[in-house]
Amino acid sequence: MEQQLQQLKEEALTKIQDASTVKELNDVRVAYLGKKGPITDLLKGMGKLPAEERPKMGALVNVVREVVTESLEARMTLLEEEAINAQLAKEAIDVTLPGRPIQTGNHHPLTRVVEEIEDFFISMGYEIAEGPEVEKDYYNFEALNLPKGHPARDMQDSFYISEEVLLRTHTSPVQARTMEAKGGEAIKIICPGKVYRRDNDDATHSHQFTQIEGLVVGENIKMSDLKGTLDLFAKKMFGADREIRLRPSFFPFTEPSVEMDISCFKCGGDGCNVCKKTGWIEILGAGMVHPNVLQMAGYDPAAVTGFAFGMGPERIAMLKNGVEDIRHFYTNDVRFISQFHRSEA
Amino acid sequence: MLVSTKWLNEYVNINGINPADLAEKITRSGIEVDSIIDRSHGMTNVVVGYVKECVKHPEADKLNICQVDVGEETTQIICGAPNIAQGQKVIVARPGAVLPGGMKIKKAKLRGEESNGMICSLQELGIEGKLVAKAYAEGIYVLPQDTIPGENALPLLGLDDTVLEFDLTPNRSDALSMLGVAYEVGAILSQGIALPKIDFTESAEKAEDKLKLRVDAPADNPMYVAKVVKNIKVAESPLWLQNYLMAAGVRPHNNVVDITNYVLMEYGQPLHAFDYDRLGTGEIVVRHAEEGEKITTLDDTERTLNSHNLVITNGKEPVAIAGVMGGANSEVHNGTTTVVIESAYFAPASVRQTSKEVGLRSDASTRFEKGVDPNRVQEAAERAAQLMAELAGGEVLSGSVIVDELDKTAERITISPDYINSRLGMKISMDDMLSILERLKIPTEAINGQLVIEAPTRRQDLRIKEDIIEEVARMYGYDEIPKTLPVSESTPGGLTPYQAKRRIVRQFLEGAGLYQAITYSLTSKEQSQAYALETAPVTELLMPMSEERSILRQSLIPHLLDATTYNVARRIDSVALYETGSVFLGEEEDGLPREVEHVAAVLTGKWVDHAWQGETKKVDFFVMKGIVEGMMERLGLLDGLAFEQAAIDGMHPGRTANIFLNGERIGLVGQIHPTEQKKRDLKETYVMELNLERILSVDTDELLYAPVPRFPSISRDIALVVDSGTSAGTLEAIIRKAGGKLLKDVKLFDLYEGNNVEEGKKSLAFSMTYFDPERTLTDEEVVKAHEKVLNALTNDADAQLRG
C-alpha cells in the first residue's frame, strides 16, 4: 500500500506538471484529491488495515496529500499568472493611436483682448458700459466737443444714416451717455464695442473695428492718476517690466491729450521690427476730459475732473499675436480663429 | 507738413543737432515726427558737368554722345534725354556713384561707345516726378550757367538736407508754417528765433489808384489785402527757392507763383497772384457765387458753383474760388508784367464747405479751414511783394488795398499755478511756468500770484485754461508727471447680470465646439432681412461705399453663412461658428433703430470626427437643437422652452422649428433650404438664431438645491406604434400629463420606421422613471401610474403597445 501511495504521488505530480491550463489542472485536482479520487479511496480503505498501522498510514496519506496539494497550488498560481499575462498581452493597445478629440471652440481673438482688458479694469473697480452702434450726431460728436464743421471731424469720415444719425465712429458716445445718465455722480467705466468708419478695407484699415475706452470722473482726478492707471494697465497687459511714456497729442474731447507708448515687449526697448527700431510702441490715446465735455453732460468742470483713454483691440491683438493684416479678424477663417484656442495666463 | 531742416535753420539755429535727436525732441514735446527723410540718400560722386559737345550716336537715334567737362577732366557720356544740348550745365553721376533706388553708376559701353557716368534727371536723384518743374519733367535737369563743373551738385540742389515729416494733429495748424515750426523748435531748444526782415522800396504809384476792392461778403471774408507789383519779369525762380519748395513738397512753376507758395510755406498764409491785365477791370469784388455760376480753375476743370461758395471776381465774373483755387482766366503766365497779390482771411467753415463741395483740397484750403493767423495776413502780402521785387525785378506800388473788419485781439487767459499743479498732480514752481511760457513766446505776466496770458493769435489752439496746462506740461515733460491712482470711494465694479450671462453663453457655445465669429454689421439689400426673426424698416447708409455694405443687418445668419462658404471653399469641410451681435430694426421715435442683441450659430460637415474608432457623425438638426437646449439649460430656461415645426423662407420646410420661450417666439433652428445651400456652395448646413437680449433679460429663480434622492426610483420601458405624423413631443406631453407627480423623467430611447412596422406607422420606445422623494414606491403604485400612462397613450394618440 505504501508503494501504491508512492506511485500515486509520482503520478499526480507528473500530471500536475503536465497540466498546461487552469482547467486541466482543475481536472487533475478532481482526479486525485476529489471525493472520488484515489487518495480518498485509500483513506476509505484504511479501515481494512490493522489498527496499529492505521496511524502510520494515515500520516503517510496526509503527507502525500499535502505534497500533491502544494504542488497543485504552486502550479495553479503559475498557470493563473500565465493566463492573466496572456490576457493582458491580448489586451495591449497602440498607445500612439489618436485620442478621441474633445472638440471645443474658442473666443474670437478680439473678444479675448477685450475680456482681458475688461477683467483688469473690473478688478480696479470699473463697470462695463455699452451703448448703441447707430448713434446720434449729438452723442458721437457734439457732446464730445466736436461741433458741426469742426476740422477734427475730418479725422473720422463717418457713415451717416441721416443728417443727425450715424454709425458711431468711436465708443466715446457711451461716455457721453453715461455721464448724462449719471447726472453728476462719480464714474468709473470701460466701454467696449464695435465702431465704423468710412475706410476702404485693406491690411491696416477696416470699415468696422472695435474700440475699448475708459472714463473716470470725480473730484480731484488728476493727470498723474491717468498716468498711474495706464502704467498698471500696461504692466498687466504687456508684462511687468513694461515702461510707459506719454507724448502730447490732440483729441477734441480731452485737454491735455496724450498718446501712450509702451517699451517694446519684443525687444525690451533695444529696437526691433515690432517697434520699428524705436524701442517704443504706441498703444493708446488718452487725456483729461475737456471741460466742455463735462459741462455738456451736466458736470461742473470747476468741481469735478476726469480722465479718459481709448485703444483698439485689433491693434493690440496684432501686436501681441503678430497678426499682420486687420482683415483676418473679419474673414472668420476657422484656420485663423482656432489658433487662439490656447489659454494664456 | 514737410519741414526742411536746412530751411528751418534760417529761423532757428539747429546747426550741430542730429536730425533724429531733433525729431525725437519735437515728438516728445508735442508734434509727432512721422519720418526723417535724408534727401541726399547717401549719394556721392554727383557733380556739375558742362556739355562741351553733343553729337548724335551713329548707331542709335535716341542717344547722344556728349563730351562733358566734370572739372578734373573732360569725359565722354552717352545720354538719351530728349532735352540734352551742347552748352548746358548738367548733373553728372560719375562712376562709383550710387543713386537712390540702388542704381550703381559704372563705366559702360552703349552701342559701342564708351560712357563714363550718367547725366541725371531730378527723378534719378530721388525727387518725386510730380515735384519736378514741368520743363524738366521729361528729361534731364539743366542747372544755371553760373555753376562750376566738378562742383558737388547736391548742395546746389538742396539735397544736402534732411526733411522731417510732421504728422500734425488738427489743433496745431500753427505748425503748418516754417515760422510756426521755428517757434516750436525755438521753445524746445530754449532759443530765440530770427523772423524774416521785410524791407523793400515802393514806387511812387499807389496801389489803390491802380486797383479797386470791394468785399460784399464780410462774414466769410473779413479781411482782404491786395498789393500790386508791376514790371515783373516772369522767369524760373532761383535754385534755392525751387529747392525749398521741392523739399516742402511743392512743384516749382515760375518766380511769381513760387514766391506765393514760398510765403504760404513760410507764414502759413495762403496767397494768390492774379495777372492784373488779365483781370481786365482793375477791380476785385469778393462775393458769393450766383447759383450755377461757372469757373474754370487753374487745373483746367470747369466747376459749377453754389450760392454759398465765396468767389473772387473782377466785378463781372469769378476769377478764383476764394481760398481754394485760382481761375485759369487770370492766371500768371510768361508774359505777365503786373501782378496783384492777394492775402486774405477767409472764414474756415466757408472754405471747408466749398473745398469739400468742389472736391479740391489744396495747401491753401487746408490752412484756411483751420484758421490762419489774423496778424500775419498783411505781413505775408508784404513779404511776397518784397520777394517779387528781389527775385522777379518787380516794382511794388506803394501801400495796399485793404478791407479789414477782422478781430485780431489776443485771447486773455488767467490761471493760477495751483490750478495747473492740481490738474497735473505736480508741483511745478511759478518761475518754471513763466520760463516755459517765455520760451514759447507766449506773453505772460504774473499778477497777484496768477498767470495772466495773452495767447498769441498764431496759436489758435490756446483758448482755455486747460490749453495752458498742456503747454506747461508738455514743455516741462510728461515724464515728470508722477504715477498715482484715483482716490475715490471704492466701488465694487464688475459685470452686469446681462454681461455676465452673455459671457456664459459664449463659454457654453465654445465648450460645445463652436468658434466665435465676428462678421460685419453692414450688408447688402438682398441679405439685410434674410432669415430675420423679426423684420422692420431697414436702416440704410446715406453714402455707402459699396452696395455690399449699404444696409444694417436684421439677422446674423447671412454673414455666418458667408463665412461658412468662405471656409468650405478652402476645404475646411466642417465648420462650427457662432456670433453674438446686434441686429438693427426700424426707426424708433428718437431717430435711432432698435438694436437687439442676437446669438446665432451655423454648423456644417461632421460633428463627431473620430473615424478610426468608427465614430463619425454628420451634423443634423438634433445637434443644433441640442446646442440650443444645452444653452438654455445652462441659463436655467429649459422649462419654458418649446420647438414647433415652422415654414421660414430660405429654410428646409421639413427641418425647421420656431423656438418659443414661455410661449413667446425667441428664435429659429433648422436646415438651410437645399436650393439656398446650393447657391452658397454648401452641403447640409444648419443654423440657429435667438434673440439674446430677450433670453438674458428673463429673471430666473434663485438656485435652490433639491435633496439628493434617498429612495430608489423605478424604471419602466414601453414601445409604441403610432401614426408617422404623431410627433414625439406630443407623446411625451401625454406621458408627462398622465404620469402625474410620481413620473420623474421620460426619455425617448428608440425610434424606428421600416420592416416589421406597418406602412404609415412608426415605433417609438420611451423609458419612464417613477420616483417619490419621501419613500420607496411600491410595485402597486408604479403599476397604477404606469397604466394611466398607457391608457392615455392609447386613447389620446391611438398608440398601440408593442411586445
Query: Does the distance separating the beta carbons of A122 and B493 come in below 8 Å?
Result: yes
> Does residue A155 register a pLDDT over 70?
no
Query: Is the pLDDT at B738 greater than 80, yes or no?
Result: yes
- Confidence band for B708, pLDDT divided at 50, 70 and 90: confident
Sequence letter at residue B487: V
Whether B275 contacts B254, CB under 8 Å: no
B358 and B270 in a single domain? The answer is yes
| Distance of alpha carbon B653 from alpha carbon A49, whole angstroms | 98
CA distance linking residue B7 with residue B22, whole number of Å: 14
Residue type, A156: Q
Q: How far apart, in whole angstroms, are the C-alpha atoms of residue A228 and residue B646?
A: 57
Residues of B in contact with A229 (CB under 8 A): 485-486
Asked whether the beta carbons of B208 and B229 are under 8 A apart, the reply is no
Which residue(s) pair with B77 in the sheet?
Answer: B66
User: 3-state SS of A79-109?
Assistant: HHHHHHHHHHHHHCCCCCCCCCCCCCCCCCH
pLDDT for res A118:
97
Question: What pLDDT sits at residue A41?
Answer: 78
Q: How far is CA B495 from CA A121, B501, B502, B504, B762, in A?
A: 11, 9, 10, 12, 50
Closest chain A residue to B493, measured at CA: A125
A223 vs B575: CB contact, 8 Å cut-off?
no
Q: Which of B77-81, B120-124, B488-492, B630-634 has the lowest mean pLDDT?
A: B488-492
DSSP for A232-279, written as a single string:
HHHHHHH-TT--EEEEEEEETTEEEEEEEEEE-TTTTTS--TTTTTSS
Give the pLDDT score at B366.
92
Helices assigned H by DSSP within B253-347: 255-267, 276-279
Cell output for B179: 515760422
**Residue B34, all three cell numbers:** 512721422
What pLDDT was estimated at residue B700?
83
Would an 8 Å CB–CB cutoff place B479 in contact with chain A?
A: yes
Whether residue B490 is contained in a domain is answered as: no
Q: Where do the DSSP E strands lie in B81-153?
A: 89-93, 108-110, 113-115, 118-119, 142-143
Residue B378 in 3-state DSSP?
helix
Which phi-psi region, left, alpha or beta, contains residue B670 (left: φ > 0; alpha: ψ -120 to 50)? left
pLDDT at B803: 59
SS3 content of chain B, % helix, strand, coil (to 5): 30, 30, 40
Residue B65 CA, chain-centre distance (Å), reads 52
Closest CA to B199 of B367, B45, B379: B379
Q: Mean pLDDT throughout A299-317?
A: 96
pLDDT surpasses 80 at A344: no
- What pLDDT is recorded for position B705? 85
Domain co-membership, B764 together with B790: yes
Are residues B564 and B512 part of one domain? yes
**Of residues A124, A118, A22, the one with CA closest to residue A75:** A22
d(C-alpha B355, C-alpha B349), whole Å: 10
Per-residue buried b or exposed e for B559-582, using 16+ beta carbons within 10 Å of the residue's own CB: bbbbbbbebbeeebebbbbbbbbb
How many of the other CB atoms lie within 10 Å of CB of B760?
9
Contact (CB<8Å) B566/A333: yes
| Stretch A4-16: mean pLDDT | 86
Q: Do B584 and A134 touch (CB under 8 A)?
A: yes
- pLDDT surpassing 80 at residue B588: no
B566 contacts chain A (CB < 8 A): yes
On chain A, the residues whose CB falls within 8 A of the CB of B352 are 149, 151
The answer for residues whose C-beta is within 8 angstroms of residue A320's C-beta and 6 or more apart is A113, A238, A265
Closest by CA to A255, choosing from A291, A227, A225, A203, is A291
Cell of B479: 515724464
Check the annotation: does B467 bind a ligand: yes
Average pLDDT on B113-129 reads: 94
Whether residues B648 and B591 share a domain: the answer is yes
| Three cell numbers, residue B477 | 515733460
Contact at 8 Å (CB) between B240 and B252?
no
Task: Name residue A149's amino acid.
Answer: G
Q: Of the given ranges (A315-319, B108-112, B495-499, B640-644), which has the lowest mean pLDDT?
A: B108-112
Helix ranges (H only) for chain A are 2-18, 22-33, 38-44, 54-91, 109-123, 137-140, 172-182, 223-238, 291-296, 313-321, 328-331, 334-337
The average pLDDT across B402-428 equals: 95
What is the pLDDT, as a whole number, of residue A65?
85
Residue A156 in this model has a pLDDT that exceeds 70? no
Instruction: CATH number of the domain at B789, please.
Output: 3.30.70.380
Residues of A in contact with B425 (CB under 8 A): 222-225, 227
Q: Is the dihedral of CA B351, B354, B357, B359 positive or negative?
A: negative
Among B257, B323, B259, B332, residue whose Cα is nearest residue B286: B323
Mean pLDDT value of segment A175-186: 93
ipTM of the complex: 0.88
| Three cell numbers, residue A197 | 468708419
Q: Indicate which CATH number applies to the domain containing B65.
A: 2.40.50.140
Beta strands at B325-326 and B318-321: parallel, antiparallel or unpaired:
antiparallel
- Convert B288-322 to b/e letters by CB count within 10 Å (16 or more is b): bbeeebebebbeeeebebeeebbbbbbeeebbbbb
Q: How far apart are CA B773 and CA B166, in angstroms?
A: 79
Neighbour count for residue A201 (Cβ, 10 Å): 16
Q: What is the pLDDT of residues B759-783, one digit of tens each?
A: 899 999 999 999 998 889 888 989 9
pLDDT at residue B372, rounded to an integer: 95
Do B474 and B531 sit in the same domain of this protein? no
E strand spans, B611-661: 615-618, 641-645, 651-661
Q: How far apart are CA B454 and CA B413, in angstroms?
A: 7
Residue B473 counted as domain residue:
yes
| A45 has a pLDDT exceeding 80 | no
Q: How many residues does chain A have?
A: 345
Shared domain for B686 and B555, answered yes or no, is yes
Q: Do A332 and B517 touch (CB under 8 A)?
A: yes
Query: Mean pLDDT over residues B329-346, rounded?
Result: 96
Q: Which residue has the higher pLDDT, B719 or B709?
A: B719
Q: A105-127 pLDDT, tens per residue?
A: 999 999 999 999 999 999 999 99
- The reply to whether omega before B318 is within 30° of 0 (cis) is no
**Cα(B430)–Cα(B417) distance, rounded to whole angstroms?**
6
Residues 182-201 of A with CB under 8 A from B: 186, 188, 194, 196, 198, 200
| pLDDT at residue A151 greater than cutoff 80 | no
Does the beta-carbon distance from A100 to B610 stay under 8 Å? yes
pLDDT tens profile B269-295: 999 999 999 999 999 999 999 999 999
Strand B310-313 and strand B318-321: the pairing is: antiparallel
Count of other CB atoms within 10 angstroms of residue A208: 21
Which range is most confident: A28-37, B55-64, B468-477? B468-477
Mean pLDDT over B311-319 rounds to 95
Domain boundary among B102, B135, B156: B156
In a domain, B492, yes or no: no
| Residue count (chain B) | 803
Question: Considering just the CA atoms, what is the radius of gyration of chain A in Å?
Answer: 43
Residues 687-746 of B with CB under 8 A from A: none
Contact B518 A110 (CB under 8 A): yes
Rounded to a whole number of angstroms, the distance from the CA of B499 to the nearest CA of chain A is: 8
Question: For residue B594, is pLDDT > 60?
Answer: yes
- In DSSP terms, A246 is beta-bridged to A260
We find that the CATH architecture of domain A109-340 is 2-Layer Sandwich (3.30)
Q: What CA–CA distance (Å, rounded) separates B420 from B656?
A: 66
Is the CB of A155 inside 8 Å of chain B's CB atoms? yes
A323 Cβ under 8 Å from any chain B Cβ = no
CB contact under 8 A, B481 and A334: no
Question: Is B284 contained in some domain?
Answer: yes
Strand B515-516 versus strand B575-585 pairing type: parallel
Same domain, B237 and B376: yes
Cis amide leading into A256 (omega within 30): yes
**Beta pairing partners, B296:** B302
Q: How far is B30 from chain A (nearest CA, A)?
A: 5
What's the CA gap between B294 and B284, in Å, rounded? 17
Selection from B116, B75, B74 nearest residue B93 by Cα: B116
Q: How confident is the model at residue A33 (pLDDT cuts 50, 70, 90)?
A: confident
> Which residues pair with residue A219 across a beta bridge?
none
In the sheet that A187-196 helps form, which strands lie side by side, from edge to edge? A127-128, A187-196, A208-218, A305-311, A280-289, A254-263, A244-251
Quick one: which H or E segment has residue B475? helix B465-476
Sequence-separated (6 or more) residues with CB below 8 Å from residue B678: none
Could you give the C-alpha distances from B77 to B43, B64, B148, B156, B362, in angstroms and in order?
19, 8, 18, 22, 41
Mean pLDDT of A118-140: 96
Alpha-carbon gap: B321 to the closest alpha carbon of chain A (Å): 19
pLDDT of residue B213: 96
If residue B27 lies in a helix (H) or strand (E), which one and from where to where? helix B19-29
Do residue B360 and residue B448 come from a single domain?
no
Long-range own/partner contacts, residues B648-651 (CB < 8 A, 24 or more apart): B648/B531, B649/B530, B649/B531, B650/B530, B650/B531, B650/B676, B651/B531
Residue B126's pLDDT is: 94
Give the residue, A155 or B370, on which the prediction is more confident: B370
Say what the pLDDT of residue B280 is. 93
Confidence of residue B579 (pLDDT cuts 50, 70, 90): very high
pLDDT tens profile A245-297: 999 999 999 999 999 999 998 888 888 888 888 889 999 999 999 999 999 99
- What pLDDT shows up at residue A36? 81
SS3 B77: strand
* DSSP output for B609-645: EEGGGTEEEE--HHHHHHHHHHHHHHTT--TTEEEEE
Angle subtended at Cα A25 by Cα A20 and Cα A28, rounded to the nearest 5 degrees: 130
pLDDT digits (tens, 9 = 90+) for B612-646: 999 999 999 999 999 999 999 999 999 889 999 99
- pLDDT for B522 equals 97
As for how many domains chain B has, the answer is 6
Verify that B724 and B654 share a domain, yes or no. no
Mean of pLDDT over chain B? 94
Indicate the angle between helix axes A54-91 and A2-18, nearest 10 degrees: 0
pLDDT by residue (tens digit) across B653-698? 999 999 999 999 999 999 999 999 999 999 999 999 999 999 999 9
State how far the Cα of A246 lies from the Cα of A4, in Å rounded to an integer: 109
Kindly determine whether residue A216 and residue B484, on different chains, have CB atoms separated by under 8 Å: no
Q: Which domain holds residue B177?
A: 2-39+162-188
In a 3-state reduction of DSSP, which class is residue A45?
A: helix
